[in-house]
Amino acid sequence: MKKILLIEDNPQLLKNKIEELRNNFTYSIDTVENFSQLQEYLSINKDNVFIALLDYFLEGAMEGQGVDLLLEHKIPTIVYTQEYSTEIREILLDKCVFEYLIKKPNSDLLYSTRLIERVYKNNFIKALIVDGSDSFRNKLAENLQQFGLGSLQSSDAKTTLELLKTHSDIQLVLIDLDISGDIQGVELVEAIREQFPSTTLGVLGMTPHGYNSQLSIEFLKKGANDFITKPFVKEQLNLRIMQVLEMLDTIQEKNIEATIDPLTQLKNLRALEGESKALIQSALITNSPLSVAMIDIDHFKVVNDTYGHDIGDDVLKLISKVLNLTLEKKISLLEMGEKSFV
């Protein structure tokens, strides 16, 4: 698993930050205390870091030199300073640092926790940028990369729909109003929603400054989760992206909870109803055999009546564990009722 890299030259602040991170995360944390240590660390471990937390004024470095080194290695970076500075903020945003926070005990703790969690999850998904301008797409892709979010690019509706069909890891589409081809971005949102619901794919509309506000409303009516007006402040874009992706995470977690039995942690009947159609369709298309087997626990009622339901629950959990360890990964295992498995 990739790690958090904490860069701090004040021993007490370093200790406090480590404690704060460990209270909120199970991620491994590596630390360095000065610029030379940072150089040495990155020469060996740059591919093992998913986010860096950095003091802007780092011992042994010129102002901002530590930031430049991390960005050179394309590591998403949160920069801390003792006091807020508009000048430093502008410098950092220009460098594509995705967040700048004040270094105070528990300051922005909830927000920084959300950021770190989001950047980690972004490693496993992609965004799709749809815009008629090559230069804008490239710049936006660079910004997303500093948020830990890889991206694909498209300039027209046809390419966009093809990419969505062939890249299941795309969870967010950023669509400009003006795209190449015969249709506008608003119409593309409508076409996307015919195939991909808002519960599995986030869409963020982008409208140029000065356009009628009705266009933003049209984006939302056609199925966009949110919209943003160009030119936008990068922090605003990151926040909107984070909100859309967090909403998708919440929906996915609720769906998983609804299809998993809390006792055995196996999929339940609701999951079977959803998966069986796909399994049957796949078998028909590939002309592959499909088998169904049901396992029933003999005398399970006797176990409950004799030893109590707690022991019965332990029996169910043990059998579930044995089946999970025994069956091949390609076999779907589900629980049906209180003593049957499929």
Going by C-beta distance under 8 Å and a sequence separation of 6 or more, which residues neighbour residue 238? 98, 99, 147
Rounded CA-CA distance 321/326 in Å is: 9
**Token pair recorded at residue 30:** 């590596």
Contact 145, 74 (CB under 8 A): yes
pLDDT over threshold 70, residue 125: yes
Instruction: Please give the pLDDT value at position 94.
Output: 82
Q: Give the lowest-confidence range in 7-16, 234-243, 266-275.
A: 266-275
Q: Options 3.40.50.2300, 3.20.20.20, 3.20.20.70, 3.90.420.10; which CATH number does 3-119 get? A: 3.40.50.2300
With a pLDDT cut of 90, the percent of the chain lying above it is 47
Query: What pLDDT digit, counting tens, does each position of 202-248 carry?
Result: 999 998 876 667 888 899 999 999 999 888 888 899 999 999 999 99
β-pair partners for 170: 126
125-258 CATH: 3.40.50.2300
Closest residue by Cα to residue 17 from 104, 77, 99: 104
For the segment 89-95, the average pLDDT, to the nearest whole number, is: 85
pLDDT over threshold 60, residue 340: no
Contact 204, 242 (CB under 8 A): no
Hey, where are the domains in the chain? 3-119, 125-258, 269-341
SS (H, E, C) the chain: CCEEEEECCCHHHHHHHHHHHHHHCCCCEEEECCHHHHHHHHHHHHHHEEEEEEECCCCCCCCCHHHHHHHHCCCCEEEEECCCCHHHHHHHHHCCCCEEEECCCCCCHHHHHHHHHHHHHHCCCEEEEECCCHHHHHHHHHHHHCCCCEEEEECEHHHHHHHHHHCCCEEEEEEECCCECCCCHHHHHHHHHCCCCCCCCEEEEEEECCCCHHHHHHHHHHCCCEEEEECCCHHHHHHHHHHHHHHHHHHHHHHHHHHECCCCCCECHHHHHHHHHHHHHHHHHHCCCCCCCCEECCCHHHHHHHHCHHHHHHHHHHHHHHHHHHCCCCCCCEEECCCEEC
**Identical fold between 3-119 and 125-258:** yes
Instruction: Please give the pLDDT value at position 40.
Output: 95
